[in-house]
Structure 1
Amino acid sequence: MSTTTNLPVEAVFHASQLTDLDIYLFKQGSDFRLYEKLGSHGITVDGVKGTHFAVWAPNASAVSVIGDFNHWDAALNALHLRDDESGIWEGFIAEVTVGAIYKYRIVSRDGKIADKGDPFAFCSEMPPLTASRVWELDYAWNDADWMAQRGEKNRLNAPCSIYEVHLGSWRRVQEDGNRSLTYRELAEWLPRYIADLNFTHVEFMPLTEHPFYGSWGYQTVGYFAPTARYGTPQDFMFLVDTLHQHGIGVIMDWVPSHFPSDAHGLGYFDGTHLFEHADPRQGFQPEWHSSIFNYGRHEVRAFLTSSALFWLDKYHIDGLRLDAVASMLYLDYGRKEGEWISNRNGSRENLDAITFLRNLNEAIYRDYPDTQTFAEESTAWPMVSRPGNVGGLGFGLKWNMGWMHDTLGYFSEDPLNRKYHHAQIIFSIWYAFSENFVLPLSHDEVVYGKGSLIGKMPGDEWQQFANLRLLYGYMWGHPGKKLLFMGCEFGQKREWQHDEDLEWEVLQYPMHSGLRRWVEDLNRFYRSEAALYQQDFNRDGFQWMDCNYAEKSVVSFVRRGYNPDDTLLVVCNFTPVVRENYLVGVPSGGYWQEVLNSDTELYGGSGVGNFGGVEAGPVSAGEMFHSLMLRLPPLGVLFFKQGSGS
């Protein structure tokens, strides 16, 4: 732990860890491993152990390190400004070791004083305390098998079913003051739970250190530190390690779009607008009351890119989901006329942000080609998930917000009225292959008065659960990767609350446990059937059998894998009426086995089905020369597999 005795001024001396090449790359904005040199790092100088500190504050008149080891006395440990115009202040303090608590005392040129956390700190104090901590990231990983094969697990033609989690509210310990679980406690429960549900990946809402718990992590101050709320950096590594050992990929939300204005954070860091734009029409986001990064500044781009690579490097993270990408792309995002500044071409695109995103994705896929990046981009910006060298932004995948809005809008309608909204449920296929899409039913859909997913479903309780099973079946059959927020897998009834745990007690009731079993079986089936994932982003993987029967509110389609034998038929009945002798076209004759039925009694359904399968007859239906005569369950989805034995 840290030394708490007073140290003389002489204990701080110049012991640079930065080479001329480091400085050159830093000033060019092309050093993406800044965390290896900036911040605090334990070293030994002339046989004396201590810590080297380095911080970028080009407009400061003085910088000191203050902490528990010098009783927060700024006169004791002043840093030296390098003479190479890098703006970096640095120095070595003897006997300061792992665990030491510190901040930078920064004096601006106009004499103002601010105590700032270290932008490159690997660890912070437990919030609401705000100091940084000296830390090392040594850890003995046990996920070599996962790391060797994760490239195959993360490929675009692999199954990807994501369970989205807010760590602070997945489970809580009621008998201990309703506290959240720690990273290590979560490692005992979460990996096994996700594995039992057959999800392929987990996505954590932001775990980068944030001062306000109620921001859910989306107001970040510590871009290199996992939040101390749940434990140490090594504790978080242990959680990731354990998930990997259970065969589960880890995606982390990461927020390069904005940051909060807390006094200890990045804002006005050296007495000037260093990380953010000075003009509020560019540097302030009115919707979130937060600051916007200056993507035109080389050092800021290097800072953010270093943060992204840091999580992939030190924490074995398998993917990054970038929040609020639309707010980065548009200069007028969330602003009224006259509240924004156009670019040099007189238009509203943020050219610096576009360049940053392209370069960021290029760096990630160059250095970690077995990972993925995900964009939460809510507009129709073209080619988000296309390479930068052909004009795209370079992301691997993009959240399909249009599908989400249309689908939830359709399902919220009374089934009797759905025939008037039929276009909502089929429109997504028109653009389904324009991007590499993820279909998200995320936390955003169950907060701020929107209610739970089960609460959005119309009808009595039986119909609500049947609707939700139908929604998930339609979603898992639809082209695109899948994402489901925690609690939705068992039909939590109340809206998500970040300071309460999930309604685990409802699993004692058959309808809730049946829904959970449906999600478990859907995921198992999805992972076993290449037709449902191999050609998610290719038109060859999808074909309508019938999408025009609005009056009956029934749709049917085929999904295909690379192998022509990998063919599945999906039939959805969006009304609470049993459809007898319903003719559905199929691409070929032979036996079609009913392999999944959301109306099975095991899931809480009524048991309407087709006795295991149907032989296709030589009767035309739509454009097909063969068809199945089916019994469609109410508010149900059926999956049939071609060629399975009769």
Structure 2
Amino acid sequence: MDIEKSDLASYLFCQGTNNYAYEYLGVHMSESAGIYTYTFRVWAPKAHRIFVCGDFNAWDESLPMEKDADSGIWTAVLPSRVRLEGNRYKYKIVGNNGTHMKADPFAFSNETLKNTASVIYDIDSFKWHDEKWRETAKDRFRSSDKHFCSSPVNIYEMHLGSWKTRGGKTNVNGDAYLNYREIAEELAPYLKEMGYTHVELMPVMEHPFDGSWGYQVGGYYSPTARYGSPSDFAYFVDKLHEYGIAVILDWVPAHFPKDEHGLYEFDGDLLYEYKGKDRMEHKGWGTRCFDVGYPAVQSFLVSNALFWMRKYHVDGLRCDAVAAMLYLDFDKAPGEWVPNEFGDNKNLEAIAFFQKLNKAIFAEFPYALMVAEESASWNAITKPVHEGGLGFNFKWNMGWANDLFEYVAIDPFFRKGSHEKLTFPMMYAFSENYILSVSHDEVVHGKKSLLDKMYGTNEEKFPMFRAFMGYMMTFPGKKLIFMGTEYAPFREWDYENELEWFMLKYPNHSAIKQYVKELNHLYLSSPELWEIDDSWEGFQWIEADQSELNAISYRRIDMQGNEYIVVINFSPEKRAHYTLRVPEEGSYEEIFTSDAERFGGNGTKNGTLRAKALETEGELRAALDIVLPPYGALVFRKKPAVSVKNKNKGLSLNKEKK
């Protein structure tokens, strides 16, 4: 990089507008006449002295850095007759708080598992094969002027270290992790078979502590070495794309850990973190909060988000802990926070940061998924920036999940008093672009697995689980479940051990896996269930108030007017003659039932039924007399008319299929 470009890059970085900061800071190699020149750059404006120490100089102080006073960026140049890929290094920073060995914030690779050095790595060496995948992003997203993202989104959230381990061993010592490539070879066909469209990875950025699950990031530009090299991670993404699976990464712009080698007081003083005591620290997590109002920190974070999409071809990011950034009083007692200039609790800098981030992402990747995990009730999370929103295009619907978890934990005899927990989510279902999430956060720390959240005996939990999943997959909104949920384990998730795959030896669990698989594929093949997720045009209640029966029914409608009739029984009672209202007379077929024997049910079938006219006005002018099994989730559709040629008169007569 020549001097003029270097000056511009440093200027833009400090202005908060360098969205390619990783191409300037960190370590970069150029080659000429057989000499490899490595240029190291690090932002540390308050440091007194800095040395680059590494394998290439026996970790001594023979490579001092020079500071640019205007930008606070330090530079050192190291010529070498051999390539230095794989060499470890750190910055020895002498600052106001002493001398500390720091990892490179822009390193592309790092050591891991108690070793914290950065590693020189050429991340452009991997040969990608997903050109067609990237070119067809628009076709997969399918947004229109009228409806947003008219395509199926069925996300499998996972933790790479505990999906499967080597030999099923525990990962307490970090010696049983599978490689990214090994995981990809098993995971990609599995997700395809099971009917998932996306995989969401809990943070794969380098992190020092396994117990943080990746949410306390130490190396924002480095895939964790627990599972292999940067090229191995690129292979993982490439393989998932080969199988038609999009990749979303959890991304943590809110905070970082206080490990000595990391971003914490990086130049001997407060740098990446907020300066004021009221904002500096997240006490509940024991971490430092990013100063997202500081321009250079904005360059660091926005560049990082774009980095994963540009360099590793990921299809989206889920921003963690958005509420912790938006609210000045998040997890703070009165007197521990200072109101903004308008006297309220909104973090104006965080609002501006998210708007800036999402504008940058969608300017370059218009069909990316930018998902907010926002646990409060902030308005306009998924509204475009030009409409005053934060600019995300999806948000987890945590209210829906909490209401449903509470409902299914209640004795069915008393559920009628909490019936609104089933129906209230429709009051706000279209206020944002929602993803219905049963995430990792819901199956840890004593919250129980999804199966164990269900009220009753083991015999009751399994059909209740099927009813829950039937409701989730037919309710408006995109879908997400955490790994393992597809076979309904009893045990909560444990990050140190692989999932209990041996449970599939038991009929109840293998039947649930088959149920989830077929339910997923019903969802994927049915525009009725995903084409209109953002308005009442795609959903209409049939029966919302049958609290005495613990039952609900509704219509799901696609853009062509085709529709499914869904009815769900959250009661253990069988309804032998349940009246299910439908739009018109004719033949209706049951296309899906959770009570099929192969799913562990009793085998109740309705088959094809004739709807009889009702003496009523309105859109629902007919009714079916159906058998509604205990905890049953059923889907019906009207059989299409067929044209039969009258050979004698040359007329076409419409008749219904029998």
Same fold (TM over 0.5): yes
2:431 matches 1:445: no
How far did 1:464 drift?
0.6
Q: Which residue of 2 aligns with 1:619?
A: 614
| Aligned residue among 93, 97, 111 for 2:78 | 93
Q: Which residue of 2 aligns with 1:561?
A: 558
2:119 matches 1:133: yes
Q: Which residue of 2 aligns with 1:33?
A: 20
| Aligned residue among 231, 239, 247 for 1:242 | 239
| Aligned residue among 463, 466, 478 for 1:481 | 478
Moved more, 405-414 or 140-149: 140-149
Secondary structure of 2:403's counterpart equals helix
Moved more, 455-464 or 468-477: 455-464
| Aligned residue among 23, 47, 52 for 2:10 | 23
How far did 1:20 drift?
2.7
Q: Which residue of 1 aligns with 2:325?
A: 328
1:123 maps to a residue whose letter is S
Q: Which residue of 2 aligns with 1:122?
A: 108
| Aligned residue among 594, 599, 606 for 1:603 | 599
CA contact (8 A) 1:162 1:202 kept: yes
CA contact (8 A) 2:179 2:227 kept: yes
> Where in structure 2 are the equivalents of 1:528-539 lying within 5 Å?
528-539=525-536
2:158 matches 1:162: no
> Where in structure 2 are the equivalents of 1:167-178 lying within 5 Å?
167-174=160-167
2:575 matches 1:579: yes
| Aligned residue among 269, 289, 293 for 2:286 | 289
2:256 maps to a residue whose letter is F
1:596 maps to a residue whose letter is F
CA contact (8 A) 1:547 1:556 kept: yes
How far did 1:94 drift?
1.6
Secondary structure of 2:56's counterpart equals coil
User: Deviations along 1:374-432, whole A, 9 cap, x unmatched?
Assistant: 00001110010010111110001000010000011001111111111100010000000
CA distance in 2: counterparts of 1:47 and 1:191, whole angstroms: 41
| Aligned residue among 586, 589, 613 for 1:590 | 586
Structure 1: tracts of 5 or more residues without a match: 1-13
How far did 1:128 drift?
1.3
CA distance in 2: counterparts of 1:389 and 1:175, whole angstroms: 50
2:545 matches 1:548: yes
TM-score between the two structures when normalised by the length of structure 2: 0.93
How far did 1:17 drift?
8.7
Q: Which residue of 1 aligns with 2:638?
A: 642
Q: Which residue of 2 aligns with 1:61?
A: 48
1:67 maps to a residue whose letter is G
CA distance in 2: counterparts of 1:210 and 1:238, whole angstroms: 21
CA contact (8 A) 1:331 1:341 kept: yes
TM-score between the two structures when normalised by the length of structure 1: 0.95
CA distance in 2: counterparts of 1:476 and 1:296, whole angstroms: 40
> RMSD of aligned C-alpha atoms?
1.5
2:490 matches 1:493: yes
CA contact (8 A) 1:17 1:37 kept: no
1:73 maps to a residue whose letter is D
Q: Which residue of 2 aligns with 1:278?
A: 275
Moved more, 441-450 or 95-104: 95-104
| Alpha-carbon spacing, 1:175–1:396, altered in 2? closer, same or farther (3 Å) | closer
2:98 maps to a residue whose letter is K
CA contact (8 A) 1:41 1:135 kept: no
> Where in structure 2 are the equivalents of 1:158-557 lying within 5 Å?
158-174=151-167, 179-557=176-554
Quote the sequence identity (%): 43
User: Deviations along 1:90-121, whole A, 9 cap, x unmatched?
Assistant: 1211226211100001111x371111100000
Q: Which residue of 1 aligns with 2:57?
A: 70
How far did 1:629 drift?
1.1
Query: How many residues are matched?
Result: 628
How far did 1:620 drift?
4.9
Q: Which residue of 2 aligns with 1:81?
A: 67
Moved more, 38-47 or 323-332: 38-47
| Alpha-carbon spacing, 1:196–1:606, altered in 2? closer, same or farther (3 Å) | same
| Alpha-carbon spacing, 1:229–1:592, altered in 2? closer, same or farther (3 Å) | same
| Alpha-carbon spacing, 1:621–1:374, altered in 2? closer, same or farther (3 Å) | farther
CA distance in 2: counterparts of 1:583 and 1:369, whole angstroms: 46
| Alpha-carbon spacing, 1:284–1:625, altered in 2? closer, same or farther (3 Å) | same
Moved more, 351-360 or 274-283: 274-283
CA distance in 1: counterparts of 2:331 and 2:249, whole angstroms: 25
2:150 maps to a residue whose letter is N
How far did 1:142 drift?
1.0
CA contact (8 A) 1:386 1:394 kept: yes
How far did 1:28 drift?
1.4
How far did 1:45 drift?
5.4
CA distance in 2: counterparts of 1:408 and 1:176, whole angstroms: 32
Structure 2: tracts of 5 or more residues without a match: 143-148, 641-656
User: Deviations along 1:577-602, whole A, 9 cap, x unmatched?
Assistant: 11011111112222221111001001
2:390 maps to a residue whose letter is L
CA distance in 1: counterparts of 2:320 and 2:483, whole angstroms: 18
CA distance in 2: counterparts of 1:253 and 1:358, whole angstroms: 18
2:228 maps to a residue whose letter is G
Secondary structure of 2:48's counterpart equals strand
Secondary structure of 1:158's counterpart equals coil
